[in-house]
Amino acid sequence: MSRLWNVAVVGATGAVGAQMIECLEERDFPVGEIRCLASSKSAGQVLEFRGKPVVVGELKHDSFEGVDIALFSAGGDRSREFCPSAAAAGAVCIDNSSAWRMDPDVPLVVPEVNPHAIAQYTKKGIIANPNCSTIQMVVALKPLHDAATIRRIVVSTYQAVSGTGKKAIEELRKQVADLLNGRPVNSTVYPHQIAFNCIPQIDSFEESGYTKEEMKMVNETRKIMEADIRVTATTVRVPVFYGHSESVNIQTERKITVAMARNLLKKAPGVRLVDDPAKGIYPMPSNTAGEDFTCVGRIREDESVENGLNLWVVADNIRKGAATNAVQIAEILVQKYLK
């Protein structure tokens, strides 16, 4: 029998953590012991893995004894504080927060795009999982970049509330119910009402006027693609529960026609081409949520510039945008690197 690995899930009671546990199960990851960790208020709560109960423990510095892989999704502060302890105890951390993404000694990995970067995990014992919006965009763009060299990306996002975690899912649900019942709404997670609205602010603003989320898309894309691509982003929160959508405009060095793009995307790993506009077929959160694929459609030449192309890219932000990507990294780690 091949080796089993002890896996800690930090933030196991959250939106991403719960999906990580599900992904480990679905993908039949060779788990020996699973250790579910969260804050003190969840300690003692009982989750389930492969039909067996798992009691949630409180995240502490000594929580990682005997752990081989620690999947972190408990927010940046916890990752900053606890990844080094986990790494010191011998675990390789795969971190979903933004804490380590731009650290030059931490690889930022999307398995379909730069799996070779995983080798760099030895520097700090940490591998960063990119931002959800970045992951789906680079999965769709990598085959086009390899074929025609992308020079510039203009992206606008339509991001689901699950990207903000379980409290945001509850806020949208409650606001919709309140509004339909003629009650006033209360916003605590978002700066404005999210039900029946679009909020052109994700994360806080920087001095430049861009939000941190927008700059994550700019900087992470360049790091993952290992290319000097000019990127500009506008990120918007929309009242959708699961599934981020993106309007992506690219300019390439060499011309890429719609037919070429479709052919490349049809064969691309992790991509599903959903592009038959005459039949009203294109990706939407409603037909993508629950999938691990990044779905691409509405491919059109941008006639306003030379070598321009428009795409519509949708993926499940909790799965490919977070949990699935992390578990895929763990799979490569145990297949190629850990002994």
Nearer to ligand NAP, 150 or 202 (CB): 202
CA angle 51, 52, 57 (to 5 degrees): 130
Q: Which of 41, 116, 255, 266 binds ligand NAP (CB under 6 A)?
A: 41
- Return the residue nearest ligand NAP (CB atom): 14
CA distances from 337 to 208, 281, 323 (A): 41, 41, 20
Interface segment toward ligand NAP; rule CB under 6 A; list 23-31, 69-77, 213-221, 278-286: 69-77
Q: Which of 132, 145, 198, 295 is catalytic?
A: 132
Interior/surface letters 242-280, b for 16+ CB within 10 angstroms, e for the rest: bbbbbebbbbbeeebeeebbeebbeebebbbbbbeeeee
The interface with ligand NAP within residues 204-233 (CB under 6 A) comprises none
Query: Is residue 211 within 8 Å of 191, Cβ to Cβ?
Result: no
Alpha carbon 106 to its chain's center: 17
Please select the residue that binds ligand NAP; options are 97, 221, 252, 307, rule is CB under 6 A. Answer: 97
Q: What minimum distance in Å lies between the beta carbon of 58 and ligand NAP?
A: 7
Judge contact between 132 and 239, C-beta under 8 A. no
Collapsing DSSP states into helix, strand and coil, what is residue 61? coil
Instruction: Find the shortest distance in angstroms from Cβ 22 to ligand NAP.
Output: 13
* 243 binds ligand NAP per the rule CB under 6 A: no
Q: Which of 36, 83, 244, 295 is catalytic?
A: 244
What span, in angstroms and rounded, lies between the C-alpha atoms of 88 and 191? Answer: 39
- The reply to whether 132 belongs to the active site is yes
**Among the residue ranges 62-70, 164-172, 233-241, 249-257, the one whose residues contact ligand NAP (CB under 6 A):** 164-172
Confirm or reject binding of residue 57 to ligand NAP (CB under 6 A).
Answer: no
Q: Is 86 in the site for ligand NAP (CB under 6 A)?
A: no
Q: How many CB atoms lie under 10 A from the CB of residue 63?
A: 19
User: What track of x and - describes contact with ligand NAP for positions 277 through 316 (by CB under 6 A)?
Assistant: ----------------------------------------
DSSP conformation letters of 242-263: S-EEEEEEEEESS---HHHHHH
The Cα–Cα gap between 138 and 115 comes to 13
What six digits make up the tokens of 84?
Answer: 């080094």
Report, in Å, the least distance between residue 224 CB and ligand NAP: 14
Q: Which residues bind ligand NAP (CB under 6 A)?
A: 11-17, 38-39, 41-42, 59, 73-76, 78, 96-97, 132, 162-163, 165-167, 317-318, 321-322
The catalytic residue positions are: 132, 244
